[in-house]
């Protein structure tokens, strides 16, 4: 009897991850007898862990702090992962080599498109870390040519600014403080809920689209103030990037509705506990 196929999510911390919930729901909905688990993998140890995996392992979802460590482990690197300088996906081929991809970018595009946002000219991103890089590249794919990065520390945003400027669209990227002006067709928040102070919420009020990448706690101050505007949530992003991974891992179209419903139920249960 052939071994059951296995996939999983690796990172540190990892106990909060909804990825097992989403992927397992996908397996149930499509009738796949696969396994998907979460495993804590600290920074600096990814190569050893990947090297120890048996032949039944077919896909890995990667979260912080492993997304940059994944690139040297892959025989092939997708254009998106190379542009971002980070991979959230490792897919194993039949020859047992790994390919690296980045479904965060495509997931962000799909999450925006689902809410009717398919073209942009300018945007503001709150925060300057890895999530700002991937969502920023998605915004540039949708046409944004002016991107403002509002951050607490300009030095910490230097890498993200460089990544966005390397996009083929060659956007104009401005780095400023969190207390600066918020403008554009969309504002993307990648900052913690506790950093969303009242003045910042007010400055974001006139931007027609809010993309809040958090899904817990929910609603964040920014999301709570988004009545009447287009709101893209962190769960939207998570489900769409997971659906793209699901297809890469299994070769089967992802059951998006089933995966989303499972994620909503899991978050509701967490909120009730």
Task: List, by residue number, the catalytic residues.
Answer: 67
Q: CB atoms < 10 A from the CB of 181, how many?
A: 10
User: 238 near 22, Cβ under 8 Å?
Assistant: yes
Segments in 102-218 forming alpha helices (H): 103-114, 130-141, 158-165, 198-203
Q: CB atoms < 10 A from the CB of 217, how many?
A: 14
Segments in 3-127 forming alpha helices (H): 19-30, 46-51, 79-84, 103-114
Token pair 């990037």: residue: 241
- Which residues have CB under 8 Å from 4's CB, separation 6+? 33, 34, 35, 56
3-state helix, strand, coil in the chain (%, to 5): 40, 20, 40
β-partners of residue 122 are: 146
How many residues would you count in the chain? Answer: 273
């Amino acid at each position: 009897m052939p071994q059951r196929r296995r996939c999983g999510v690796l990172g540190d911390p990892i106990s909060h991850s909804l990825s097992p919930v989403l992927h397992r729901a996908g397996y149930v909905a499509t009738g796949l007898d696969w396994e998907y688990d979460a495993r804590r993998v600290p920074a600096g140890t990814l190569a050893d862990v990947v090297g120890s995996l048996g032949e039944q392992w077919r896909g890995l979802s990667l979260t912080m702090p492993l997304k940059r460590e994944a690139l040297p482990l892959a025989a092939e690197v997708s254009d998106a992962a190379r542009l971002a300088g980070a991979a959230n996906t490792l897919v194993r081929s039949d020859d047992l080599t790994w390919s690296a991809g980045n479904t965060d970018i495509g997931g962000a595009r799909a999450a925006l498109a689902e809410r009717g946002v398919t073209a942009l000219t300018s945007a503001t991103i709150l925060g300057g870390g890895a999530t700002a890089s991937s969502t920023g590249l998605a915004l540039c794919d949708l046409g944004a040519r002016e991107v403002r990065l509002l951050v607490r520390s300009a030095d910490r945003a230097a890498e993200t600014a460089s990544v966005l400027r390397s996009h083929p669209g060659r956007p104009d990227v401005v780095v400023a403080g969190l207390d600066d002006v918020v403008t554009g067709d969309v504002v993307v928040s990648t900052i913690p809920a506790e950093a969303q102070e009242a003045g910042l919420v007010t400055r974001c009020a006139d931007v027609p689209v809010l993309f809040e990448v958090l899904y817990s706690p929910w609603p964040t101050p920014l999301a709570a103030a988004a009545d009447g505007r287009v709101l893209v949530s962190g769960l939207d992003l998570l489900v769409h990037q997971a659906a793209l991974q699901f297809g890469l891992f299994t070769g089967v179209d992802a059951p998006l509705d089933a995966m989303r419903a499972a994620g909503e139920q899991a978050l509701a249960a967490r909120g009730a506990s």
